Amino acid sequence: MSNDKTILRGTSTNPGWPGDVQPDDGQWNFIRGKPMRKWSIGAVIAVMASVSLAACGSASTSGDADGGAADAPIKIALIPPTSGALAQFGADAVKAWKLAAKEANEKGGVAGHPVEIIEKATDADPATTLRVAREAVTQDGARFIGAVMTSPEHAALNAQLASLGALSFNALGKDDALVAEQCVPYSFAIVQRSMMDINALAEALGELPGDRWAIQAVDYATGHSAAEKFRAAAAAVGKEIVLEQFAPLNTSDFGSYITKILESGADAVFAVEYGADGVAFVKQAEQFGLTDRLQTVLGFNMVSEPLFETLGDTIVGFYNNVGYDIDADNPLNTAFVESYTKEYGTPPYYVPADNYLAAQTLFAGIEAAGSIEPSAVAEALNDLAFDSIVGRVTMRGADHQLLRPSYLGRVVKADTGLKFEIIVAVGADKTTPTPSPACKM
């Protein structure tokens, strides 16, 4: 146990498909008394029984039967990927939650409740993540879930949250469907979803050099949705899409993809490649001479501060969506940057910032509810406005999307290396679409 009052638990990495958890979207919504679909009486009884069993398991196996006590801990399960292309992002997400917990506990907790971090792990496969989430709830007594990485994981988890009786705070999965047809009352989107980022990019897309664009994206939900939205934004400002292609996650050889971009005659590229995949794409694009032939490289979460040293001056002039402005002039952000840098030796970027913001959102909900019961916190968060590291934000009750600003940045040289220069800052009123009618809370 650490000496900073933040309580840590062990990790779980064994993959598998649990017999009592299936990725079925037909879950009963008990929060506001509305079923998400019509079920038979027998099916309703079966689901109610499973919820009861989950609740009993949580109390009996974790010793948290006094969860409503005034000093009961706020148990938060973190389930990040610990291997593969997303491992570094997972580690940084955990750092932010641990810092938020440490700071809260040093001030006496949240509404008098100490914060307890339960560290878990996943391979980013939805089946593994569901099994680990079930374990965290039934064995460790977790009531809140964070640091889950990918959109497919969040989609599967959303379908199970009602039966788990836990709240999930999504600071990383950007698929628009998560706040549309896959939305549920127990899930809260902290991160800007793809359409919000694309709308921010669209504010400047018409001014970016290049008329013939290639799209290079990762072959899973976020990559496809980002490509679709970018295609529409490009058409709106008269840009032509000459190539669209997708590479599997953990691709290490982009040679054939880069060759096709070269052959397409593109003079600009929109790239949705993350982590190690993004590094491989950028380095091989330089080796093939692609970047010298392009007027613009516009990344979508491809170029981030942890990669600046690895990629070097090659990326100077690259554009990228920026979810978090480290230089934002507000007291909460200044304090966060100072404390994160002191704690971990490096300044924060969008992954730790968004996860810290997720913790701020949870804590604001607990303070407003005066309770750590998930249903009470969920209700209190609806349309709740509060001050945060990104300024004044609101959790929109209609779809549980946090309303916050978005940015477009360009990589420039600075005294300490490379940094993002914010080119465009766009408010939530311009970037956030109206709630989807497919979202039924």
Q: Are residues 142 and 164 in the same domain?
A: yes
Q: Categorize the per-residue pLDDT at 216 as very low, low, confident or very high, splitting at 50, 70 and 90.
A: very high
Count of other CB atoms within 10 angstroms of residue 358: 28
Q: Quick one: pLDDT at residue 16?
A: 26
Strand partners, 424: 408
CATH of the domain at 303: 3.40.50.2300
pLDDT in tens, 404-420: 999 999 999 988 889 99
132 falls within a domain: yes
Q: Quick one: pLDDT at residue 68?
A: 60
pLDDT in tens, 147-182: 999 999 999 999 999 999 999 999 999 899 999 999
Integer CA distances (angstroms), 39 to 7, 46, 52, in order: 41, 11, 18
As a whole number of angstroms, the distance between CA 313 and CA 214 comes to: 23
Instruction: Read off the amino acid at residue 190.
Output: I
139 falls within a domain: yes
Copy the structure tokens of residue 389: 């590291």
Name which residue leads in pLDDT, 199 or 148: 148
Q: Taking residues 279-291, report their average pLDDT.
A: 96
30 falls within a domain: no
**390, 431 contact by CB (below 8 A):** no
Q: Categorize the per-residue pLDDT at 383 as very low, low, confident or very high, splitting at 50, 70 and 90.
A: very high
pLDDT in tens, 56-113: 333 333 333 344 677 899 999 999 999 887 898 999 999 999 999 999 999 999 999 9
Q: Quick one: pLDDT at residue 304?
A: 84
Percent of the chain's residues with pLDDT above 90: 73
222 falls within a domain: yes
Strand partners, 262: none
Burial letters 205-225, b for 16+ CB under 10 A, else e = beebebebbbbbbbebbbbbb
**372, 143 contact by CB (below 8 A):** yes
Q: Are residues 411 and 373 in the same domain?
A: no
As a whole number of angstroms, the distance between CA 349 and CA 334 comes to: 13
Q: Are residues 236 and 170 in the same domain?
A: no
115 falls within a domain: yes
pLDDT in tens, 262-274: 999 999 999 999 8
Q: Are residues 146 and 203 in the same domain?
A: no
Residue 104 sits in which domain range? 41-192+329-403
Mean pLDDT of the chain: 85
Q: Are residues 51 and 172 in the same domain?
A: yes
Q: Are residues 180 and 206 in the same domain?
A: no
Q: Are residues 279 and 390 in the same domain?
A: no
Q: Quick one: pLDDT at residue 85?
A: 74
Q: Taking residues 237-249, report their average pLDDT.
A: 96
Count of other CB atoms within 10 angstroms of residue 186: 26
Residue 412 has phi, psi (to 5 degrees) of -130, 165
Q: Are residues 150 and 266 in the same domain?
A: no
Q: Are residues 298 and 396 in the same domain?
A: no
- Going by C-alpha positions, the residue among 4, 146, 134, 12 that lies closest to residue 76 is 146
Integer CA distances (angstroms), 92 to 89, 121, 130, 172, in order: 5, 13, 21, 12
Residue 213 has pLDDT above 50, yes or no: yes
pTM (2 decimals)? Answer: 0.77
